[in-house]
Structure 1
Amino acid sequence: MVFGQQKTTSASDVNQSLTKKSKMMNSSLVKNINFTNIGPTVMSGRVVDVAVNPNNTTEFYVGYASGGLWYTNNNGTTFTPVLDNSPTQNIGDIAVDWNSGTIWVGTGEKNSSRSSYAGIGMLKSTDKGKTWSNVGLLDSHHISRIVINPNNADEVVVGVIGHLYSSNKERGIFKTVDGGKTWSNKLFINEDTGIIDVAFAPENFNIMYAASWERERKAWNFDGDGKNSAIYKSTDAGNTWTKIADKSGFPVGDGVGRIGLAVFNENTVYALHDSQFRRPKDADKKASDELSKEDFKTMSTDDLLKLEDKKLNTYLKNNGFQEKYRAQNVKQMVRVGSVKPADLASYLEDANSMLFDTPVIGAEVFKTTNGGKSWKKTHKDFLNGVYSSYGYYFGEIRVDLQDENGIYVLGVPIIKSKDGGKTFTSISRENVHSDHQALWVNPKKSGHILNGNDGGLNLSYDDGENWSKLNDPAVGQFYSVYADNQKNYKVYGGLQDNGVWVGANNARINKSWQQSGQNPYESIMGGDGMQVQVDDRNPNIVYTGYQFGNYYRIDREGRNNYIQPKHTLGETPYRFNWQTPILLSKHNQDILYLGGNKLHRSLNQGDDWETISGDLTTGGKKGNVAYGTLTTISESPFQFGLIYVGSDDGYINLTKNGGGSWTRISNNLPQNLWVTRVIASAHKKERVYATLNGYRSDDFTPYVYMSDDYGQTWKNIGKSIPTSAVNVIKEDPENENVLYLGTDNGLYVSFDKGTSWNAFSKNLPNVAVHDLVIQPTAKHLIVGTHGRSLYKADIAPVQKMTKEILSKSTHIFSISDIRKGRNWGRSWSQWRAASEPELSIPFYSSSAKETTVNIYKDDVKVNSISVKADKGFNEFSFDVSFSKNGLKAYKKANEKAKVKAAQNDVFYLPKGKYVVKIGDAKSKFQIK
């Protein structure tokens, strides 16, 4: 049987699922198991917008792409999250009416990157974020800009870029005049073209400019330009629009890419354009005698054989060819026909290199001084390096309202001009991350700017010459997380555009590190951080890397070794996913697996590789994004060489003999989806779990499957999960019935192998969960979120929630012993509160009820506390004290005992063994 495959998920399905999840959160058996954020904060996530109070610039809001909305009223010294009680943390734009305190959030990031999550329309708060209302545009997915009439807070114009991976009608420019009760579509171009920017004249809300953007993203390709990308103008506050780019000097045609706008006044406007038109041939070519990749594409065999060895060797060495490929060897291979000259070019070409090699014009700045009637390019030279072929990822430009010639262009670096764009200088500095996404320029004070980038937020008062970093929130965008096996174990994680970081799991996440100069988290790799594996025998040996399979073996006491497998000259280059999977074999820690489009195995820690499969994908597709690649690897702990792999194009393959033969086991699953995880069970050799993801076709169905026969047949165990794409499934190592599931909108746990699911969300906002790891000794679940950094929860009670316990009326879980403290009830000074002990008493209740927790010393009841229990897991915090009656009873039974009140007048229990009883359930603990 082939399971039915979903089409693009509708807005109504998403909305219903949000209601369903809210109910699940309230009824969850684990709603009282707490998650603690464990950072890091030193490295942040992508900022999409800032909104600053013009009358008090120390007060502002910061919107993060997938990390929610944060508020400060002390100039960024501290931030408070204000979107955590909403159904999403995904933001495209924010706007604030400072007179009334009304906040507008356009959900769904405006950037069109591989990790830009869809939103749920427009959110509005009239109480500074305490509560939120969804006020429409539910099917917009990605909202680019919100502008509020300064003289009428109910009049709001919104730019909608629309779906990222599919066509849709709800895109263009929308307007409300009643505060979001109703919306009207004022500009619609077509179902593939949305609005990426809207800006109005500071002195006249009636005069507006907007930029349309035609784009199409697929899993294998991104086309970010088209003839429908253009500039529009309105003279009636966004009610009607006229295209003004045609025959004006501004580029038109299929090569027009993303456009950003900065309005100085009614007539003076700057436009930043990502030009996808090709550069004139040889425009950047410098006179050089060195060989280039292009030379070999048309070179004949005879011409190659005539090359000087020195010249050929220079090309081979400079382009990273393996040592075995040197001039004499290569020429011999060409002579016998095993290699063609063109192979020396194709050897270097993968999807990523092809993208960077594309000779487009890139970033360019235009200006009009007559309201868009004519546009003129401000500079003569190319703005090289501003976009680095990723122009679709940028597009913001700002103008200083105190200086018409003062403009800022945001790209990989941030650059400024003081002569109207004729010349530029970089204002990127040593503590400013690259990839700039948002900029606020103080309209009343030149030089005061707030810059949001992929690494967080920076503040400058001297026009970018010096910057302060305001990374207080934990908003890291993790792709992966790992925990090693040390006693005080370390956590590792790869972040979007922010490398790989490591820190102790119990690190203090505060500002005390600024006193010591040493943050508890340490960066060990740059680029986009990817998966991590740590040698169980030696925690200093770490395998990790950055995008497209660039992996290293790191000796943290020695050197780094680059270990990516290389194809043979003449062979088609391997394809590596953005998040290339790696796996250390639990059977032998010298054996490492790495997945391209084929599976590679090293028997000596990555020094040498053997390819143990053919192409395990559909073969890839023509495009500028690596596709037809492996995404997940799992080896059975029961048998060496029993390996599952999954691909980004929907294939799951199995080998039982270390790659000797392979069997495809995904034919009875939905097709053409992204396999996010395939997991071999640690409890049953024949069992395997798989999750598939339709995010890249705007299909948010939770595809979750289990098989008990090596994938010959599958059972759908994701039916009861609220609609949200699934990223990861993890099997509990102790309880085979317990499963953990991470989706694009939160975390779930099952106690019956996926038959039913519970939301797992206390202190964990509705954020994308990309990865999960369980530290088995500590019994901790570490959650890698893509937007709110890392979270940790104690899952010891979860592991004990068996069928037997769940059938009881009450059950008390194991209570940790506590050590008697001489400072209980004492304060170090009059300025500090007294130190008070806390003993956690975890218990399960089959129903919500008022219950009594009784504490006994021998047969004496020393305390009795009434507790309101929820159905499911509960945790009562006991202050280890006598009750008034308990103290009397204890003294009566122990006449010689001396019990004194502490400094805070509380009588604490003495050392000894105690019993806790709740109904018929009981458990023990000891005060040592």
Structure 2
Amino acid sequence: YKSVDAGKTWTHLGLRDGQQIPQIVVDPKDPNRLFVAVLGHPYGPNEERGIYRSTDGAKSFQKVLYKDENTGGIDVVFDPGNANIVYAVLWEARQGPWENGAFQGPNSGVFKSIDGGTTWKLITKGLPTFAGDGLGRIGITVAPSEPKRLFATVDATRKAGLYRSDDGGENWYLANGDPRYTSRGSDFAEVKVHPKDADIVFTGSIVAWRSTDGGKSFTAFRGAPGGDDYHRIWIDPTNPDIILLAADQGAIITVNGGRTFSSWYNQPTAQFYHVVTDNAFPYRVCGGQQESGSACVSSRGPYGQITFRDWTPVGVEEYGYVAPDPLNPDIVYGGRVSRFDRRTGQVQQVGPVAARTPDYRVVRTQPVLFSTIDPRTLYFASNVVWKTLNGGSSWTQISPDLARKTWSVPPTVGKYTGTDAARVTQRGVVYTLAPSYLDINRIWAGTDDGLIHVTIDGGRSWSDVTPPDLKPWAKVSIIDASHFHAGTAYAAVNTIRLDDLRPHIYRTRDGGKTWTHITNGIPEGATINTVKEDPVRAGLLFAGSETQVYFSIDDGDHWQSLRQNMPAISIRDLVIKDDDLVLGTHGRGFWILDDITPLRQMAAKAPDEVHLFTPQRATRVRWNLNTDTPLPQEEPAGENPPDGAILNYYLKSKPAGPVTLEILDGSGAVVRSYSTADAAEPIRDEGNVPAYWIRPAQILSAEPGMHRFVWDLHYAKPQGMQGAFPIAAVFRNTVRSPHGVWALPGTYSVRLTVDGKSVSRPFRLRMDPRVNTPGVALQHQFALSTQLSAAMDVVGRKRVTGDRDEAELARLHGELLAIYNLVQASDVA
């Protein structure tokens, strides 16, 4: 891809079938000249591999260095002093579908071109060989201050380490053979040299290393005991004290040569494997994440946004499932199997002891989840299914080994079929479990080697109900049992390990006897990781791919994108919690789509000229409980859900006149009224309140399309006063106080009027379930607040007309406001 506006927009240039592009270098003196290292398919052979060159700004590419369909480009660098000298690395590497490490071959090596990439010479004198040393991946760099000096990290069975050349790659010698500094080549091959001192060398492994003597010795200058996994290093060529490191958790920067670093917690880069929610209010979103352990974060922060105050680890290993206890959200299970008590912070291992013996198999991500019917029943899966009724104190095996007993090596393994690694017998595991929502004895199980089983008698017997076209080592990544029909289930199947990126979703309506492939509308290449059925509306499905989320309103017969404002990112799992869609991404953290009720109400036919959707139940929650100085705007924060009732409407075309939206109470009286003719209050600096604190005004829209408007659950604020911004501000989300009177819990309706025609929909407003204030007390609060608001209205109007002493009116108004705010905050019992 290429951007000409600093990354705001991108244009696809080509090389799509390369699938993995680890390096792009651009000639510093000619931006139209660039080289691209294309590694190729990880699980199969393909022609679009090697080193490509463009001389016309990527309008076209030429393959300038290529070996075969199994060997790809992994690195390419310019000589800093002469852009016609280019170094490139080829790596013959492929993965097997059972993930037992890369297959490697003899075509790996370092190459050099002295004519701008037209011809290449293999330069491996002194480096390990494949035949004698098991040569693997290589990473290369050139010293900017001494271009003849090169360093290379070399992965090999023998003689691995950091290699150095002082004659432009013609001869190499082992500078340091300590494996800590280069680590495993399947993950690491990063080496960089200080731009002004050729003896200062940096490498990346589970920690970041620095040498000041040309690679003879190293010191760890960034890392942690458990390993941070540093994959990329960038050094500012003009100020070498500025160094950027990219790790599994995110990117960090030092501006003082590594003495101190910024935090990776200022960027949403969490890599989650699965996502789940608990039954607390507000509900928490939980998952296991790469390198940074487990996380549970509140879906609503008490101080107007979601911050570090609302996040806690829950004792689950980084790859693991998380399973909050349905009866006690302070107890959380996960991993293989751990039990976390939020009250004490203690973690206890409670998994089946037998599962740790050689007779049983597990992988990184093993299912741990509660029964959807009996909240005491917890399931765990290895290559068999386990069940506990007492929190893991004892376990019962309720299935035989459900993985394939025999299978052949998939054709995509190609020429590596006869290698020792491919001949090793590999066995699958149960990768997904789906207990029925309707029948406690029905459980679905899917394996990562391509089988689906179901039991209808609680595990006493299991039936193989695998779709006929499911090939061995197709990963059944998620099965979801229907909420409406016991014999209906949905399966997401990921076939990337068979070199197949096509989407695969299956549906059965007869208990697995027959399956239908349902991916119409999902593009080719959109590998699917997960599929879930909405628990409220039959036929509404959601699916997550490697780039975005999709939905279907006809039980999977047709799909369309629901990406909205999300980045292109791997959706590993999703869950529907109440009226929200919650996503777990592998690289951009958790995301929530608030209020999917419009999707539930969508019909197959096009909507009318004007359509008002029935709102979800609203909850009266104090949006910001902070009473003092807020967190600075530099602190990273997630967004709270909208603070009020979410109102959705659709306009097929632009109306002739203004559109109005009114909130009515149970008696039909208008509580609040909005119009497209309302003027937006401009955002401007307010004395000591910089503009970046202020929430943009919400204006009703009359444009064609779908629209969302939020009523803040208040009556109109007292008139005749401008109000002020509170000390407890929220970045870009602060509104003037005071608000109007709180609306009472009860029944309301929303009325949409377009060109003289009105449509109304009812909705409920409930009190925050954590608040125990009696209804009669809320009535008293409402009555007193209403009276005070009316008094402030009178005083405010008199101040505007100036018919009394301004100082006296200001004093009276201030006293009324203080009492009003006190009364409005009294519903906290």
What is the TM-score when the length of structure 2 is the normalising length?
0.75
Deviation at 1:197, TM superposition (A): 0.9
Q: Give 3-state SS (helix, strand or coil) of 2:84's partner.
A: strand
Change over 3 Å in CA distance of 1:869–1:575 after alignment to 2: farther
Counterpart residue number, 2:138: 259
Percent identity between matched residues is 30
Change over 3 Å in CA distance of 1:708–1:139 after alignment to 2: same
1:205 to 54, 58, 83: 83
RMSD: 3.7
Counterpart residue number, 2:254: 460
Deviation at 1:904, TM superposition (A): 7.3
1:425 to 219, 231, 252: 219
1:761 matched to 2:594 = no
Deviation at 1:419, TM superposition (A): 1.3
Q: Give 3-state SS (helix, strand or coil) of 1:403's partner.
A: coil
1:916 matched to 2:751 = yes
1:226 matched to 2:112 = no
Change over 3 Å in CA distance of 1:462–1:794 after alignment to 2: closer
Deviation at 1:478, TM superposition (A): 1.2
Q: Give 3-state SS (helix, strand or coil) of 2:655's partner.
A: strand
Alignment of 1:426-825 (within 5 A): 426-429=220-223, 434-507=228-301, 519-525=309-315, 527-545=317-335, 550-558=336-344, 559-567=346-354, 572-619=358-405, 627-672=427-472, 673-723=474-524, 724-776=526-578, 779-798=579-598, 800-801=600-601, 803=603, 808-809=608-609, 810-814=611-615
Counterpart residue number, 1:167: 45
Change over 3 Å in CA distance of 1:815–1:255 after alignment to 2: closer
Q: Indicate the structure whose relative CO is greater, using CA pairs within 8 Å and at least 6 residues apart.
A: 1
- How many Å separate the matches in 1 of 2:304 and 2:701? 33
Deviation readout 1:505-558 (Å, 9 max, x if unpaired)? 113899996xxxx6421223365231111111111211112xxxx331122234
Question: What amino acid sits opposite 2:512 in the alignment?
Answer: G
Deviation at 1:661, TM superposition (A): 1.0
Question: What amino acid sits opposite 2:481 in the alignment?
Answer: A
The number of residue pairs the alignment matches comes to 684
Counterpart residue number, 2:652: 847
Counterpart residue number, 1:33: none
Change over 3 Å in CA distance of 1:374–1:430 after alignment to 2: closer
- How many Å separate the matches in 2 of 1:190 and 1:602? 52
Deviation at 1:137, TM superposition (A): 1.4
Deviation at 1:457, TM superposition (A): 1.9
1:413 to 186, 207, 227: 207
Q: Give 3-state SS (helix, strand or coil) of 1:408's partner.
A: strand
Q: Give 3-state SS (helix, strand or coil) of 2:531's partner.
A: strand
Contact 1:407 1:421 (C-alpha < 8 Å) held by counterparts: yes
- How many Å separate the matches in 2 of 1:152 and 1:593? 60
Question: What amino acid sits opposite 1:874 in the alignment?
Answer: H
Change over 3 Å in CA distance of 1:185–1:855 after alignment to 2: closer
Q: Give 3-state SS (helix, strand or coil) of 1:699's partner.
A: coil
Gaps of 5+ in 1: 1-122, 278-360, 888-897
- How many Å separate the matches in 2 of 1:602 and 1:701? 37
- How many Å separate the matches in 1 of 2:31 and 2:94? 34
Contact 1:575 1:626 (C-alpha < 8 Å) held by counterparts: no
Contact 1:207 1:266 (C-alpha < 8 Å) held by counterparts: no
Q: Give 3-state SS (helix, strand or coil) of 1:228's partner.
A: coil
- How many Å separate the matches in 2 of 1:733 and 1:138? 38
Deviation at 1:444, TM superposition (A): 3.7
Change over 3 Å in CA distance of 1:590–1:597 after alignment to 2: same
- How many Å separate the matches in 1 of 2:388 and 2:644? 49
Q: Give 3-state SS (helix, strand or coil) of 1:166's partner.
A: coil
- How many Å separate the matches in 1 of 2:750 and 2:43? 59
1:383 matched to 2:264 = no
- How many Å separate the matches in 2 of 1:690 and 1:878? 39
Counterpart residue number, 1:69: none
Q: Give 3-state SS (helix, strand or coil) of 2:314's partner.
A: strand
Deviates more, 1:406-415 or 1:461-470: 461-470
- How many Å separate the matches in 1 of 2:37 and 2:355? 49
- How many Å separate the matches in 1 of 2:303 and 2:68? 48
Deviation readout 1:652-711 (Å, 9 max, x if unpaired)? 001111221111111434323111111111211121111111122231222112211111
Question: What amino acid sits opposite 2:329 in the alignment?
Answer: P
- How many Å separate the matches in 2 of 1:526 and 1:648? 22
What is the TM-score when the length of structure 1 is the normalising length?
0.68
- How many Å separate the matches in 2 of 1:688 and 1:640? 15
Q: Give 3-state SS (helix, strand or coil) of 2:512's partner.
A: coil
Alignment of 1:32-181 (within 5 A): 123-181=1-59
Alignment of 1:864-883 (within 5 A): 864-865=675-676, 873-876=706-709
Contact 1:816 1:840 (C-alpha < 8 Å) held by counterparts: yes
Change over 3 Å in CA distance of 1:425–1:573 after alignment to 2: farther
- How many Å separate the matches in 1 of 2:603 and 2:378? 38
Change over 3 Å in CA distance of 1:754–1:871 after alignment to 2: farther
- How many Å separate the matches in 2 of 1:838 and 1:249? 63
Question: What amino acid sits opposite 1:608 in the alignment?
Answer: S
- How many Å separate the matches in 2 of 1:678 and 1:789? 22
Q: Give 3-state SS (helix, strand or coil) of 1:525's partner.
A: coil
